[in-house]
Amino acid sequence: MTLIIGLTGGIGSGKTTVAKLFKKLAVPIYFMDLEAKKLMQNSKIIKRKLIVKFGQEVYLNNKLNRSFLANIVFSDTEKLKHLESIVHPKVKQHFKRWVKKQNTPYVLQENAILFENGNSAFCDFIITVTAPLELKIDRVIKRDAISKKEVIARMNNQWTDEVKIKKSNFIIKNVDLEITKKEVLKIHKKILTYIKGAKNFLILC
């Protein structure tokens, strides 16, 4: 049986960087946000529902208008919840099919809103990636070319690090890449040890 490990962290924490480090260890990674975007682009059912809810502008030249949609949902909690109610059920179905195709001791589900959308309930262990607030803000501004106000608005739609940490099995403070690499390897070995049934396994809290 393949274990499901949730990998989460607030926007700008660097969870994608951490995911890629696990990938180098031959761990299959399911990037939830990326797969959601693919389904929003390719699923006729999702397309139809998004257009009904948010208007024809949500697609331009038959392509998802991400900036248009982001401006709507990240400033309106109810609209964000409606978007999630349309997309998340389809993504969960897709993830379950993907897991069945894997043949490894465990897989990672990289998901920024793992707790918020309830996917944490289906994970055997959870890893939360953290970083200082200002560093996270700076990373997102550079990555997405948006304002500090927009970054904070997105952060406000996610649980705080403090809340996530209390519900997680492993914590990675992603500030120094070399230290992060060592933490990833340590966690990887602990998960494999657990899977092998070692009696001396110790979950980090």
Q: Does residue 197 register a pLDDT over 70?
A: yes
Q: Which residues share a beta bridge with 173?
A: 130
Q: Which H helix or E strand runs over 64?
A: strand 63-64
Q: Is residue 203's pLDDT more than 80? A: no
Question: Given this model, what pLDDT does residue 71 score?
Answer: 87
User: Predicted confidence band at 29 (pLDDT cuts at 50, 70, 90)?
Assistant: very high
Domain covering 37-101 in this structure, CATH number: 3.40.50.300
pLDDT in tens, 36-49: 999 999 999 999 99
Token pair recorded at residue 183: 């933490």
In 3D, which of 34, 205, 189 has the Cα closest to residue 128? 205
Please compute the mean of the pLDDT values over residues 148-155 and round it to a whole number: 90
Alpha-carbon distance 150 to 100, whole Å? 38
- Are both 1-28+106-144+159-205 and 37-101 of the same fold? yes
Annotated domain spans of the chain: 1-28+106-144+159-205, 37-101
Q: 50 and 58 in contact (C-beta within 8 Å)?
A: yes
pLDDT at 204: 45
* Cα distances (angstroms) measured from residue 58 to each of 7, 36, 109: 29, 15, 27
- In the DSSP assignment, the letter for residue 124 is S
- In 86-182 the beta strands, taken as DSSP E runs, fall at 106-110, 125-130, 170-173
Res 198: pLDDT: 53
Express each pLDDT in 59-102 by its tens digit.
Answer: 999 999 998 998 898 888 889 889 999 999 999 999 999 999 99
Q: What DSSP character marks residue 58?
A: G
- The fold for domain 1-28+106-144+159-205 equals Rossmann fold (3.40.50)
Q: How many residues does the chain have?
A: 205
Handedness of CA 65, 153, 110, 19 (dihedral sign): positive
Q: Does residue 173 surpass a pLDDT of 70? A: yes
